[in-house]
A = this chain, B = another copy of it.
Amino acid sequence: TIDGPRLNEDIAFTSRFGATPRGGIRRLALSAEDRLVRDWLATHGEALGCSITVDTMGSQFLRLEGSDPTLPPLMMGSHLDTQPTGGRYDGIYGVLGGLAVLRAFRAAGYVPRHSIELANWTNEEGARFAPAMTASGVFSGVFTLEQAYGLADRDGVRLGDALLAIGYKGDEPCGAHPLAAYFELHIEQGPVLENEGKTIGVVTGVQGMRWFDVTLTGQEAHAGTTPMELRRDALLAAARLMVLAADVAAAHGPDAKTTIGIIDASPGSRNVVPGEVRMTLDLRHPDDAVIDQMEADFRTQAAEIARRAHIELSIEESWGSPSVPFDLACIGMVRDAAAKAGLSHRDIISGAGHDAAYMARICPTAMIFIPCRDGLSHNEAEYAEPEDIVAGANVLMRAIMAADEH
């Protein structure tokens, strides 16, 4: 069984790499802090007798050899990068929970038939380099290596160069890697399990999501002299689009979500009517057809708002991930594992994207959720109970063992 205290200690210890004053973590992908936590993971993997490889996307793989070399490995994984003001659990729990499973196998002298690999995927958050889930995206053939290397952060640094800068551009070809199954352990990041008092979420799939870059172009003008009706205020029009985005979500039921997370207004001076605004838009719904409808509604009404405000509008889709159903057999293994461990559980669809969403394209995949306090994530106050942490890791271990027998 899982060494619970050790797992919770690992979570507390690694939170030092990029710790923020408010108790969260700022550990952007391929930053100096990311390098430190990767080094930590490699050290602890070696101590367990794992072989360690780094692929061309910088993802780390800790491997425990199985007894039957003819079988493809079973993989666990998640990510150690965080949001700019991220929490201590998002992604981290999945990697350290996987490490706890490897440790439990070692401690028990248990040798599975399949080799077991634990992946730490590069740039899952999409906070430094958009889109999200970049390395698992290359691994599963959704993006090319060249596309990924070319992604630039807001300072213009390319992902390929950032890999080199922290010494994590590995040799192992990214994705040349048949797998028997993939399991990812994660906090829910939403309020459902907590509200219903359930310990385990049996994740049946991931909702669809689509990202857009929205640009509004008006005319810079003097704030003191330009009559309101002569203005072509890009920021005022952007404000109307933000309200529209919320209205579009409301019009498509409780599962629809729209978010503007980034906004930049130029030239950025108190007494200048902004001439240009760039902002992001994130649309989500479990049903891709509804996302299509949300996008169409937003585009139509946004065009009308822009027309009235004499603003040029461009709405470019920068990334999209259709809704993903997980593998029924893997979902069943998770559900059985929770039941056998005597843990309360329910089926749930993930609102967040995960590396598992891309891995599902190339191998049987499922996920395990545990509750997080107030459903809060992408927030420094993110928190999960130590008992739930241990419970989830036990379910991961049992699911892996079930898959190994399969």
Q: Can you list 12 pairs linking A and B with CB atoms under 8 Å apart?
A: A84-B269, A84-B272, A127-B272, A190-B222, A225-B377, A228-B246, A228-B250, A235-B242, A236-B243, A239-B243, A259-B271, A261-B268
CB-nearest residue of chain B to A245:
B236
**A233 contacts which chain B residues (CB < 8 A)?**
246, 259
| Beta-carbon contacts under 8 Å, A232-259 to B | 233, 235-236, 238-240, 242-243, 246, 249-250, 254, 256-259
The 6 closest A-B pairs by CB, nearest first: A190-B225, A225-B351, A239-B242, A223-B259, A239-B239, A84-B267
Are A228 and B249 CB-contacts (below 8 A) given A132-B271, A265-B263, A379-B221? yes
- Check if A343 is an interface residue, CB within 8 A of chain B: no
Secondary structure at chain A's binding surface: helix, strand, loop or mixed?
loop
CA distance A235 to B227 in the complex (A): 26
Chain A interface (Cβ within 8 Å of chain B)?
A: 83-85, 125-127, 130, 132, 188-191, 207, 209, 211, 219-230, 233, 235-236, 238-240, 242-243, 246, 249-250, 254, 256-263, 265-275, 280, 282, 284, 350-353, 375-380
CB distance from A306 to the nearest CB of B (A): 15
A219 contacts across to B, CB distance below 8 A:
376, 379
If A239-B242, A270-B211 touch, does A353 touch B259 (CB 8 Å cutoff)? no
- A375 contacts which of B84, B230, B274 (Cβ < 8 Å)? B230
Taking the full assembly, how many copies of this chain does it contain?
A: 2
CA distance A127 to B250 in the complex (A): 39
B85, B209, B272: the one within 8 Å of A267 (CB): B85
Establish whether residues B243 and A379, one from each chain, have CB atoms under 8 Å apart when the complex forms.
Answer: no
**A18 CB to nearest B CB, Å:** 14
Q: Does B226 contact A236, Cβ atoms closer than 8 Å?
A: no
Q: Which residue from chain B places its CB closest to the CB of A228 in the assembled complex?
A: B249
B residues near A254, Cβ cutoff 8 Å: 227-229
Contact indicator B282/A263 (Cβ below 8 Å):
no
Which residues from B are CB-within-8-Å of A242?
Answer: 235-236, 239
Q: Complex formed: what's the CA distance from A392 to B67 in Å? A: 92
A256 to B221: give the CA distance in the assembly, Å: 15
Inter-subunit contact B269/A379 (CB<8 Å): no
Q: Determine the distance from Cα of A225 to Cα of B353 in the docked complex, in whole angstroms.
A: 10
For residue A351, which residue of chain B has the nearest CB? Answer: B225
A261-B269 in contact given A191-B227, A222-B351 (Cβ < 8 Å): yes
Q: Are B223 and A235 interface neighbours, CB within 8 A? A: no
- Given A243-B243, A267-B83, A269-B262, answer yes or no on A377-B222 (Cβ-Cβ < 8 Å): yes
A263–chain B nearest beta-carbon distance, Å: 5
Residue of B nearest to A283 (CB): B223
How distant is the Cα of A388 from the Cα of B313 in the complex, in angstroms?
36
What's the nearest-Cβ distance from chain B to residue A207, in Å?
7
A269 CB, min distance to chain B CBs, angstroms: 4
User: A274 contacts which chain B residues (CB < 8 A)?
Assistant: 260-261
A270 touches B261 (CB 8 A): yes
Which residues from B are CB-within-8-Å of A228? 246, 249-250, 254, 256-258
Closest to A24 in B: B220
A375 to B228, CA, bound (A): 13
Task: Find out whether the CB atom of A273 lies under 8 angstroms from the CB atom of B261.
Answer: yes
Minimum CB–CB distance for A403 against chain B, Å: 27
- Cβ of A259 to closest chain B Cβ, rounded Å: 4
